């Protein structure tokens, strides 16, 4: 089967760093994508990894280990506006995305 796991909720303080983990088991692998979703809004693309290693995009970085079926999203210099759900999604051996349930991040002042 296809399974993507991520923590349900996390909290952090403004200015801090937070790491959101994601583990996956899918039929094939052709990329892992991170999306941000504010309540009632569309998922917004943040970052993706196809090969092992770290991809950095400003305050956001994403890491992938294909052998471990593991990824994380790192958010630095947290701002209040970063309070949102963060969705881990995998593209398996077909052209679709399989989403995890999302991690709801609350940033406190």
Partner 1 sequence: EPEVTQTPSHQVTQMGQEVILRCVPISNHLYFYWYRQILGQKVEFLVSFYNNEISEKSEIFDDQFSVERPDGSNFTLKIRSTKLEDSAMYFCASRTGTGGPQPQHFGDGTRLSIL
Q: Which is nearer to partner 1, 78 or 105 (by Cβ)?
A: 105
DSSP state of 20: E
Q: How many CB atoms lie within 10 A of CB 34?
A: 25
Is residue 60 near partner 1 by the rule CB under 8 A? no
Minimum Å gap between C-beta 94 and partner 1 is 5
Angle at Cα 19 formed by Cα 80 and Cα 49, nearest 5°? 110
**Main-chain dihedrals φ then ψ at residue 108, nearest 5 degrees:** -105, 150
CB nearer partner 1, residue 41 or residue 77: 41
Query: Residues in the site for partner 1, rule: CB under 8 A?
Result: 30-31, 33, 35, 40-45, 48, 50, 87, 89, 91, 94-102
């Amino acid at each position: 089967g296809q399974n993507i796991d991520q923590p349900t909720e996390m909290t952090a303080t403004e200015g801090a760093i937070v790491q959101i983990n994601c583990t996956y088991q899918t039929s094939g692998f052709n990329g892992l994508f991170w999306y941000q979703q504010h309540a009632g809004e569309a998922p917004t693309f943040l970052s993706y990894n196809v090969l092992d290693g770290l991809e950095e995009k400003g305050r956001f970085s994403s890491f992938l280990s294909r052998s471990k079926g593991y990824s994380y999203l790192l958010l630095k210099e947290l701002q209040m506006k970063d309070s949102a759900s963060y969705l881990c999604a995998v593209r398996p051996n077909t052209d679709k995305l399989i989403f995890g349930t999302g991690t709801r991040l609350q940033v406190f002042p």
